Amino acid sequence: MARENFPATMASTITDPPAKENPSPSPNDVRRRSFLKGLGVVGAALSAGSLLTGEAEAQDRSGIITVGDVAILRFLAATELIETDLWQQYNELGGIQDSEVPGGSGSRLYTKALEVLDGDMPQYIHDNTEDEMTHELFINAYLVSKGAEPVSLDPFRTLPSSQATGAQQIGRLTNLMQLSVDTTWYTRYRSRTGNPDLGDTFPQAIPSIATGQHPAIPRTDDDVQPDPSKPHHISDLTQAIANTAGFHFATIEQGGTSLYPQVAQRVTSLEVLRIVLSLGGTEICHFQTWSDKAGNSPQLSVVDPVTGSTVTFPDLNSPPFGGEDFQTNLIMPEPTAFLNRNLPACSIIRPTATKGAAMGALKAFTAGGLFIGQSPQFFKFMRTLAIEADLAVRQ
């Protein structure tokens, strides 16, 4: 959605940054650093913790944030703009179009197919979309309030909209019609032994949508033609597209669920840490919801008439699937190895290792087909933001 569509009250918060300048280090700062250099390893660890907390608090009081914090927030702002763009497309066709999330007029049979997964899907899609809009607006407004540059991806809104009835005809940042949906989150969060941070890998829940290019929204009205032989006249093709969306929702939100704790470990200001923890928590809420709904996808197998590829949604509760790695109602994170396999298993978000987190998120978006059709300038811009965010260190 275009920024100018937001209420004036929200837009006005991102104007008039207070003029703040980074003060040069005081003699006290210099003395403190040389003092740290002189400590032994244990002493440095203990004392540095309390001193760094004191420095962060002082920095919060002074209203300045570090270059690293700005870089992390700018990358997060970009990912939130990307999330907003893709969720807006889902809402136009399968959510609730209203004053909170305007745009589009819905695709009746696509919406009905989503409701097969859960009768509340349109409401949840609407609410997830609104959440992403507020994340993006808040982070950018906060950056401006600190005198930092906000992030705009407006020059890259060049991808075509779905041609199906219900979608707005506007330029998009993301492509939801040629996705490869990584569904390893499904088995990763059910595993009681594996953790990607310890080098483990996980099988796909729905292998047939993990490779190739699959629509998660109807491309044209051909994808939502009624089939009188099916319940509610929902064709297998329309249901397959809705099922693909159901898994993609969780794929996107588990990414946010990991990204926020990953970058939180490298922010300096306590206020920025509070922002990252508070926004990241809602990504977990989203993921948990979608993790529940994806397992309700009805079994089917259909050949996509556009791509010629077969899409199969199996019974995940029966052989060769089934068991704890696939059981559909195991929607809460199973306890698993964390930090060190000698420690007891623990129910956790995974992965959370911080090294290269931003570039990892960008690569995952890209590998999923979300940016098919985007310009080299877009990738260059996003790569720069990711590199800068990954260079940030906690001070």
Residues engaged in binding Fe ion (CB under 5 A): 80, 83, 132, 135, 253, 256, 283
Is the distance from CB of 109 to CB of 238 less than 8 angstroms?
A: yes
Nearer to Fe ion, 283 or 304 (CB): 283
Nearer to Fe ion, 83 or 325 (CB): 83
Residue 55 token pair: 């420095």
Nearer to Fe ion, 80 or 236 (CB): 80
Nearer to Fe ion, 130 or 132 (CB): 132
Residue 389 beta carbon to Fe ion: minimum distance, rounded to whole angstroms = 15
Nearer to Fe ion, 114 or 284 (CB): 284
Residue 221 token pair: 């009205």
Residue 80 beta carbon to Fe ion: minimum distance, rounded to whole angstroms = 5
Residue 135 beta carbon to Fe ion: minimum distance, rounded to whole angstroms = 4
Residue 131 beta carbon to Fe ion: minimum distance, rounded to whole angstroms = 6
> What is the helix (H) or strand (E) element at residue 301, kind and residue range?
strand 300-303
Closest C-alpha among 96, 98, 86 to residue 121: 96
Residue 76 beta carbon to Fe ion: minimum distance, rounded to whole angstroms = 8
Nearer to Fe ion, 253 or 304 (CB): 253
For residue 338, the 8-state DSSP code is: B
Residue 358 beta carbon to Fe ion: minimum distance, rounded to whole angstroms = 15
- The terminus-to-terminus CA distance of the chain in angstroms comes to 36
Long-range Cβ contact pairs of 351-354 (< 8 A, separation 24 or more): 351/195, 351/196, 351/197, 351/258, 351/262, 352/197, 352/258, 352/261, 352/262, 352/265, 353/197, 353/262, 354/262, 354/263, 354/265, 354/266
